[in-house]
Amino acid sequence: MNLIVDYQPTRPLVIGHRGACGYRPEHTLESYRLAIRLGADYIEPDLVSTRDGVLVARHESDISHTTDVAAHPEFASRRTTKIIDGFEVTGWFTEDFTFAELRALRAIERLPGVRPQNTVFNGRFTVPTFQEILDLASEEERRRGRPIGVYPETKHPSHFASIGLALEEPLVRTLYRNGFADRTDHILIQSFEASSLTRISTMTDIRLIHLLEEPAADLEAIARYAYGIGPDKDLLAADPRMVRRAHDAGLVVHAYTIRAENQFLPAELRIGTDPTARGDVIAEYEHFLDMGVDGFFTDHPDTAVAAVNAALRHRVPVSVG
């Protein structure tokens, strides 16, 4: 259903990766709310399913490291081992819980060794539904008088389809119920799996983004169903011409994921020897802006907003894409 159009540059987007997870436990309403307060144009939930088909935001279906499930003896027997996307994973999984059961859990910081300051929020926040995230974006739009986009990812879509919990239909149905159905809406749907995106493309005209973690990609083929690509930033660093090739194919480019801590930055941008200390993340944004990217996924939206605003300070502002 998607009608692919020629690439048109706009103001680079700041995409709050899992919210503002550099400052709050990821995929919580508070993380998304903070990302919006810090100026993010879009907030990004990874979507997985509960046993009863409710879409919720978690980085993976394994919730061992993002919730306090291990502290709940009533769920001890749910711990199991599965093969997901070709990897053996042991833990607790959203598809083995009803939404009511999942709601009894509380979010925790996934990277406590990197972001110990975030652990003070452990146990305070619930696992949000996709509907709650859309409600939050709508509420913040009214409050702030500017568009707040939502950028959901279908997470492990083949796995969920194999167990009868396909993500695509409930995702599109929820968006449609909230009035989102076409390319003009501030919604972007992303996935690493082309099959998930092509399936969605038969259901809606909402814009699609194909995530890339490998260098070999047929951009012309992707442009037949997608609005853009979301390449790993290391792919772009290794092949800066990918941005121009994508633009020539009519695709936007949103790089993932930029984080402020030294361990996530190139060696030349690290400050000091502490891997958890802040490095020169502004310089990394500037590098990718010079390359011509159309947006960033970032754990620290305030830093991206500062970099984009500085780069555009002499230009006439344009509307968010």
Do 190 and 212 form a contact (C-beta atoms < 8 A)?
A: no
- Residue written as token pair 């995409």: 15
Can you give the pLDDT at residue 312?
84
For residue 207, give the 3-state DSSP assignment. Answer: strand
* pLDDT exceeds cutoff 50 at 1: no
The count of residues in the chain is: 321
- 130: helix, strand or coil: helix
pLDDT in tens, 127-185: 999 999 999 999 999 999 999 999 999 999 999 999 999 999 999 999 999 999 999 99
Tell me, what's the pLDDT at 57?
Answer: 98
Q: How confident is the model over 224-275, as pLDDT tens digits?
A: 999 999 999 999 999 999 999 999 999 999 999 999 999 999 999 999 999 9
Q: Is the dihedral of CA 202, 141, 296, 11 positive or negative?
A: positive
Strands 42-44 and 46-49: unpaired
Residue appearing with tokens 């969920």? 160
Is residue 65 pLDDT above 50, yes or no? yes
Residues 6+ apart with CB under 8 A from 301: 14, 16, 20, 35, 38, 39, 40
Strands 295-298 and 13-17: parallel
Pairing label, strands 228-231, 207-212: parallel
Rounded to a whole number, what is the largest CA-CA distance in the chain? Answer: 60
Bridge pairing between strands 80-84 and 87-91: antiparallel
Q: What is the pLDDT of residues 77-121, one digit of tens each?
A: 999 999 999 999 999 999 999 999 999 999 999 999 999 999 999
- Indicate whether 66 pLDDT > 70: yes
Residue 283 pLDDT more than 70? yes
| pLDDT on residue 314 | 55
Residue 317's pLDDT is what? 44
pLDDT at 6: 63
Average pLDDT score over the chain: 95
Q: Count of CB atoms within 10 A of residue 268's CB?
A: 9
* SS3 assignment, position 279: coil
Residue 68: pLDDT over 50: yes
Q: Where are the beta strands (DSSP E) in the chain?
A: 13-17, 42-44, 46-49, 55-57, 80-84, 87-91, 149-150, 153-154, 188-191, 207-212, 228-231, 252-258, 295-298
Tokens encoding 295: 């947006």
